[in-house]
């Protein structure tokens, strides 16, 4: 699905004026959903806990193992062995996770069309059994892979830290407080999370967040 990101930004500024400088400074992102859920999830596994440049290099090497610059199809990856993927720079854990992901797609346990139509709970039920995919990965996939407008990733450190800076809290919010503060931002909390990441970036660059 797609949604009107400009309308979402207008809503956030209306209910919380402190969003206005962020929108002015950073604009609105392109959150067009992916056309290939399998590739999106696979890429997320490769990029986990890696710097962008290193992850990009490993990603290219991984694709090259299958004779193409494109991400392999599920059947081809499911037939691979962890040892055959390690030369790309993948850890054994990531290699096993990618093969498990491919196996779930190849044998039909995860269907792209079903992902598109799934509720949040159904999405978690389909993806969490896959090795290497946890609640954070599901949230990121819902936000960027499926383009869902109201995902609030409570387990994301950057979102929590950004909210702390944004609202000048003494400590990073957790649990019920994290959910309660963002309640007025429904149904556009995905965009709110994106701006929390921008707050953290601004802070690192010593730029004002308000």
**172-203 tens-digit pLDDT:** 998 889 999 999 999 999 999 999 999 999 99
Domain termination site, one of 145, 170, 186: 145
130 and 60 share one domain = yes
83 and 20 share one domain = no
Query: What's the structural domain count of the chain?
Result: 2
121 and 168 share one domain = no
64 and 28 share one domain = no
What is the residue whose two structure tokens read 């890429």? 43
The 3-state DSSP class for residue 44 equals helix
Q: What mean pLDDT, rounded, does the chain reach? A: 92
Where residue 165 sits, what CATH number does that domain have? 1.10.1670.40
Cα(79)–Cα(149) distance, integer angstroms: 36
82 and 171 share one domain = no
Cβ of 159: how many Cβ atoms within 10 Å?
A: 26
Contacts of 108 (CB under 8 A, 6+ apart): none
Which tens digit of pLDDT belongs to each residue from 41-50? 999 899 888 8
Contacts of 84 (CB under 8 A, 6+ apart): 65
pLDDT of residue 1: 58
Q: Decide if 210 is inside a domain.
A: no
Where residue 126 sits, what CATH number does that domain have? 1.10.340.30
What is the residue whose two structure tokens read 């093969």? 99
Q: Decide if 95 is inside a domain.
A: yes
Q: Decide if 112 is inside a domain.
A: yes
pLDDT of residue 208: 53
Is the pLDDT at 5 greater than 90? The verdict is: yes
> Which range of residues forms the domain containing residue 42?
37-145
Across 2-7, average pLDDT: 89
């Amino acid at each position: 699905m797609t949604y009107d990101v400009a309308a979402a930004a207008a809503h956030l500024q209306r209910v919380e004026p402190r969003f206005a400088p962020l929108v002015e400074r950073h604009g609105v992102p392109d959150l067009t959903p992916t056309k290939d859920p399998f590739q999106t999830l696979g890429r997320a596994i490769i990029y986990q806990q890696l710097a962008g440049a290193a992850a990009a290099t490993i990603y290219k090497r991984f694709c090259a193992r299958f004779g193409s610059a494109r991400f392999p199809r599920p059947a081809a990856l499911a037939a691979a062995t962890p040892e055959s993927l390690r030369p790309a720079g993948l850890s054994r854990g990531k290699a096993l996770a990618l093969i498990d992901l491919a196996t779930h797609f190849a044998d039909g346990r995860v269907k792209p069309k079903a992902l598109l139509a799934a509720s949040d709970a159904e999405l978690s039920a389909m993806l969490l059994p896959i090795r290497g995919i946890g609640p954070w990965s599901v949230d990121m996939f819902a936000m960027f892979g499926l383009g869902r407008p109201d995902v609030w990733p409570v387990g994301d450190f950057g979102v929590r830290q950004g909210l702390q800076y944004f609202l000048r809290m003494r400590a990073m919010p957790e649990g019920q407080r994290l959910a309660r503060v963002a309640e007025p931002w429904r149904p556009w909390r995905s965009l709110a999370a994106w701006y929390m990441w921008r707050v953290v970036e601004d802070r690192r660059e010593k730029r004002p967040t308000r």
